[in-house]
Amino acid sequence: MKRLSGWDAMMLYSETPNIHMHTIKVAVVDAAGFDGDYSFELFERTVRKRLPGLDPLRYQLVDIPFKFHHPMWLENVPVDLDFHVRRARVRSPGGRRELNQLIGELASTPLDRSRPLWEFHFVEGMAHDRFAVICKLHHALADGVASSNLLAKAMDPRPFASDDERPYQPDSRPSTSEMLREAGRDHVRQIARLPRLVKNTAGGVSRIRRRSNERDRNPALARNFRPPETFINHVVSPTRTFATATLAMADVKETKNALGITINDLVLAMAAGGLRELRLRYEGKSDQPIITSVAAATDTSPDRITGNRLSGIFVSLPVDVDDPGERVHLTKVGSGIAKEKYQLLGPEIPGRWSAYLPPPFAPFAFRRMAASSAQNKLFNLPISNVPGPRERGSISGAPMTEIYSVGPLMAGAGINITVWSYADQLNISVLADDVTVRDPHEVTEAMVRAFIEIRSVADLSIQLTVIETAMAPA
């Protein structure tokens, strides 16, 4: 058994009836050239064979008596594949829009905490001999980097050491007294670490203040802890909608190189342009910059397949600026300042403080937040950019042509934008509730239009490269 980290536990505590804390991973498979019958039974056999090598899929939550500490993972539990591996079918004609609709429906229900926190849905009925695998994976199990590594390991064509299907030995559940004793020892260690944490935090805050005093405040950037009210920010409903779009990585790299920015800056500038369009449509104005929370990994090891090793930075998005070139510039400036503050504070500091969340009270506090109509004082919405697998993989012997991923909605924010790269693609995913936008594809389409605007500023062709292997646009 092993203790959940503070971040892992927070992903559990923040789950409420209207905030589901699972992430969604989607792999599209092209079985047109597959030799034989590509079927649910074949996929299930593959999962059964690979399961012993995918450790997080064999973890089950164990609560500590009296909520005396964060829960623990019981490792190597038996897994009922009849429950975890399921069949699904998209509506005709089985294209991108129909797949996205099914994903939204599956994302609308929470995972069963009495079992390992994942589900695989094998999707049939897609056009052009395509299939899809939709994975619901609880955020407590893995962050974006760990999920990417886990997916890469699952689709690696090389055999696992466990591919001989030898049974693994389930761990035994500890007694109540053993759990309480270990929890007590953990608390003693945490208390001992607290003075150093306070000192390091104070030092980081002091460094940020000194640097802020040295730097002239840019009035074009949003002020910390003052995100404006927007159509995105309200009590989130429990129903989810989903949308995707695919860009060619060659176009993305050409654009960021021409402008001298990073891919992350480009993604944020696209989001700024798209969200400006949507604010004008839904609010009739977009006169203030907004704030986005951008996840930042503190451990990017390619071998890590579980746990949350992350922090967050708060970046000003210039959705109030009409000129796309100026939006790119202000996004780069805002992102640079946010990254500098992140480093000055210390990337590990927020994660270390999360270990001190009080288990008896944290879930109640998060439920209050999820039901409150008060404006979130930290950010308007989360946006993530995660480097996915660079090499094409396969599932059950058929090539995987696309990967999409999205994180959960946060309390008070009805949209989550997650971008994953895969081989020659940059794939945009949008999760929303059913009251924020009429159609989540409005968000993806607005971001693509913003990308074209940015390319025009860089004097590049506005004709985007067509990814022949990807599904047609919705």
**Residue 123 near residue 26 (C-beta atoms within 8 A):** no
234 catalytic residue (yes or no): no
Nearest-5° Cα angle at 394, 393 to 395: 140
What CA–CA distance (Å, rounded) separates 341 from 224?
12
Query: In this predicted structure, what is the pLDDT of residue 166?
Result: 52
The Cα 435–Cα 139 span in angstroms is: 24
Confidence of residue 159 (pLDDT cuts 50, 70, 90): low
State how far the alpha carbon of 384 is from the alpha carbons of 110, 311, 419, in Å.
22, 12, 6
Domain ranges of the chain: 1-158+176-474
d(Cα 48, Cα 45) in Å, to the nearest integer?
5
Q: pLDDT tens across 328-353, in order?
A: 999 999 999 999 999 999 999 999 99
Q: Which amino acid is at 132?
A: A
Instruction: Tell me, rounded to whole angstroms, the distance of Cα 194 from its chain centroid.
Output: 30
How far apart CA 53 and CA 38 sit, in angstroms, is 23
426 pLDDT above the threshold of 60: yes
**Coil, strand or helix at 205:** helix
DSSP output for 221-268: SPPTT-PPP-TT-SPPPS-EEEEEEEEEHHHHHHHHHHHT--HHHHHH
Residue 157 has pLDDT above 80, yes or no: no
Tell me the average pLDDT of the chain.
Answer: 94
| pLDDT confidence band for 149 (50 / 70 / 90) | confident
- The string of pLDDT tens digits covering residues 277-325 is 999 999 999 999 999 999 999 998 989 999 999 999 999 999 999 999 9
Whether 432 has a pLDDT exceeding 80, the answer reads: yes
% of the chain surpassing 70 pLDDT: 97
Residues β-bridged to residue 136: 24, 119
Cα–Cα dist 457/444, whole Å: 20
Local confidence band at 161 (pLDDT 50, 70, 90 cut-offs): low
| Confidence (pTM) | 0.95
State whether CATH 2.90.10.10 applies to domain 1-158+176-474: no
Question: Residues 20, 139, 329, 441: which is the catalytic one?
Answer: 139
User: What are the tens digits of pLDDT across the range 53-90?
Assistant: 899 999 999 999 999 999 999 999 999 999 999 999 99
Q: What is the largest CA-CA distance in the chain?
A: 68
pLDDT digits 0-9 by tens, 162-171:
444 555 666 7
- Residue 155 has a pLDDT of 73
